[in-house]
Chain A
Amino acid sequence: MTRRERDPLVIGRVIGDVVDSFTRSIDLTVSYNDRIVSNGVTLKPSQVVNQPRVDVGGDDLRVFHTLVMVDPDAPSPSDPNLREYLHWLVTDIPATTGTRFGQEVVCYESPRPSMGIHRMVFVLFRQLGRQTVYAPGWRQNFNTRDFAEVYNLGSPVAAVYFNCQRETGSGGRRR
């Protein structure tokens, strides 16, 4: 048996459903209300109503990044026919800064899952240079892989995800 998989992105099927395997090379810190998002934490819709603070690592202000936030489990993880639902798209984020310095191509839409427990995934790409990115016509059925290919973004440089279910959800437990 191969070495037990330890990467949460693989176990949580983010690598697989949204992106392919990649090497992390840039720090990506996402925080909602001063609470840093670690892979696999569960946040309620009320906690993620407003866009998070996103800090990007690196060291060169002339290097630009694109951040994508998608829900691959829309409308329901058991039947994700709207995969992926695009919640946020920010481009031209200079290294060492954050999304507030970038271009918001698709504005932040707060997650409101109605059925099941959804993964909300942030993926960071490095741009070759400043570039114009066009917003898709609609949020549903977005494809991060295709998007990266169209805009020559290459493999992701960072990713993080959290779980989200409706406010009164029971955490998947009966009773």
Chain B
Amino acid sequence: MFSDVDDHANTLNKNHHNIDFKVSSSSNLSMFSNTTRTMEEVWKDINLSTTNNPTTTVKGYHGFILQDFLAKPFSSNDIPTSVSSPPLPQPPVLLTLDSGPVQLDYVKEDQTPNVCSLNGPFEQVLGSADSSSVGHNIGGMRVLPAGDGAGGDRRHKRMIKNRESAARSRARKQAYTNELENEVERLKVENAKLKRQQRQVVPQPQLAELAEVDTME
């Protein structure tokens, strides 16, 4: 599998030599280490860079740029090969759902060929068994086409739905509370009225007793 990598790397170099992607420069690393980027920020960057350079996809689809980058071959002379994607503004961030951004080892110029084949389509990148560290993390992350911001859309929709549901829940609670309050009020009024009516019809025992006491004196 890895023998294919160099071939493909050369192809990439030929076709996209105009795209330089500095992978291992220390400046990029320091940039990265300054901030703890949230997944959302990274996604946004990916989406923005895709829209800026729509013509630079190598596989003919708005592929998953991060994945493409991860699958990029590691050439022996350590010159960053051109990548089939628009340049990311920062070094690649490997994201996992539980641990947050994780730096790739080969960004630090580690020559370990822990990348998988580039030949196949996108799915092969994911499915490669050899890229243990990379594959594991990829698997932990939800993969979405980055070109149209679908990830953000889905999240946005979910948020709206949740808000509506919360509003309905509050309305339910408030409506029932109001109903009870109204009923209590109504019952209090009715109770008072009934008591008044009863006093007029039936003499109160206490009053009757007092009347007796008065007359006795």
Chain A interface (Cβ < 8 Å from any Cβ of B): 6-9, 11-13, 38-41, 77-78, 117, 163, 172
Q: Count of chain B residues with Cβ under 8 Å from any Cβ of A?
A: 16
Query: Which of B44-52, B74-82, B125-133, B176-184 lies at the interface?
Result: B176-184
Q: Output the nearest chain B residue to A4 by Cβ-Cβ distance.
A: B178
- Whether A11 contacts B165 by the Cβ 8 Å rule is no
- Whether B172 contacts A163 by the Cβ 8 Å rule is yes
Shortest CB distance B177–A (Å): 8
- Whether A40 contacts B164 by the Cβ 8 Å rule is no
- Whether A39 contacts B176 by the Cβ 8 Å rule is yes
- Whether A8 contacts B179 by the Cβ 8 Å rule is yes
State the CA gap A39–B180 with chains docked (Å).
Answer: 9
- Whether B175 contacts A40 by the Cβ 8 Å rule is yes
Which DSSP category, helix, strand, loop or mixed, fits chain B's interface? helix
Known: A39-B175, A39-B176, A41-B176. A8 touches B168 (CB 8 A): no
B30 / chain A contacts, CB cutoff of 8 Å: none
B172 / chain A contacts, CB cutoff of 8 Å: 12, 40, 117, 163
Shortest CB distance B157–A (Å): 11
- Whether B164 contacts A11 by the Cβ 8 Å rule is no
A7 / chain B contacts, CB cutoff of 8 Å: 178
Give 5 A-B pairs besides A6-B181, A11-B175 with Cβ atoms closer than 8 angstroms: A12-B171, A39-B176, A77-B168, A163-B172, A172-B165
- Whether A78 contacts B161 by the Cβ 8 Å rule is yes
Known: A38-B180, A38-B183. A11 touches B171 (CB 8 A): yes
A11 / chain B contacts, CB cutoff of 8 Å: 171, 174-175, 178
Contact of A172 among B164, B169, B176, B182 (CB under 8 A): B169
A12 / chain B contacts, CB cutoff of 8 Å: 171-172, 175
A172 / chain B contacts, CB cutoff of 8 Å: 165, 169
- Whether B176 contacts A8 by the Cβ 8 Å rule is yes
State the CA gap A172–B175 with chains docked (Å).
Answer: 16
State the CA gap A40–B177 with chains docked (Å).
Answer: 8
Shortest CB distance B106–A (Å): 41
Contact of B175 among A8, A78, A117 (CB under 8 A): A8
State the CA gap A10–B178 with chains docked (Å).
Answer: 11
Q: Output the nearest chain A residue to B161 by Cβ-Cβ distance.
A: A78
The list of the 3 closest CB pairs from A to B, nearest first, reads A40-B176, A12-B175, A8-B175
State the CA gap A8–B179 with chains docked (Å).
Answer: 6
B178 / chain A contacts, CB cutoff of 8 Å: 6-8, 11
Known: A6-B182, A38-B183, A39-B176. A13 touches B164 (CB 8 A): no
Residue of A6, A11, A38 with most chain B CB atoms under a 10 A cut-off: A11
Q: Output the nearest chain A residue to B169 by Cβ-Cβ distance.
A: A172
Shortest CB distance B140–A (Å): 23
Known: A39-B176, A41-B176, A78-B165. A13 touches B182 (CB 8 A): no
- Whether B164 contacts A78 by the Cβ 8 Å rule is yes
Can you spell out 5 A-B residue pairs with CB atoms less than 8 angstroms apart? A8-B179, A39-B175, A39-B179, A40-B176, A78-B161
B176 / chain A contacts, CB cutoff of 8 Å: 8, 38-41
Shortest CB distance A135–B (Å): 31
